[in-house]
Amino acid sequence: MEDGQVLLYSNSVNARETKIPYPWLVFNEKIKVNSVFLRDSTAVSDSVLLLFGGSLSKGDADNHLKMLGGYLEFFMEPTVADMYQSIRRELDDFIQSKV
């Protein structure tokens, strides 16, 4: 957020793609040369972000979920929002039990 526009590192696989199939990128490293570049990036779907991303909280309405303190917002059917929250809790509990 604080870096503004970023570019994909020229040697990365995603930099060669004309269209990235998912709306989000997760990355391992951010480098600043003359611009900010992302290395080791992977495109992910909304579902992957909701299930494995940062803390998830309920928004102002039943169909509203927020991440990163409201920086990311997702709107969906209320039953789907409840399902994501439930699966997320179960995944978090499962991962904690394995750690």
The model's pLDDT over 17-30, given as tens digits with 9 standing for 90+, comes to 889 889 898 999 99
Position 96 pLDDT exceeds 90: yes
Pair 46, 80: CB distance under 8 Å: no
What pTM was computed for the model?
A: 0.77
Residue 86 has pLDDT above 80, yes or no: yes
Mean per-residue pLDDT over the chain, rounded: 90
Give pLDDT tens digits for 55-66: 899 988 889 999
Written in H, E and C, the secondary structure of the chain is CCCCCCEECCCCCHHHCCCCCCCEEEEEEEEECCCEEEEEEEEECHHHHHHHCCCEEECCCCCEEEEHHHCEEEECCHHHHHHHHHHHHHHHHHHHHHC
pLDDT tens digits along 32-61: 988 999 999 999 999 999 999 888 999 888
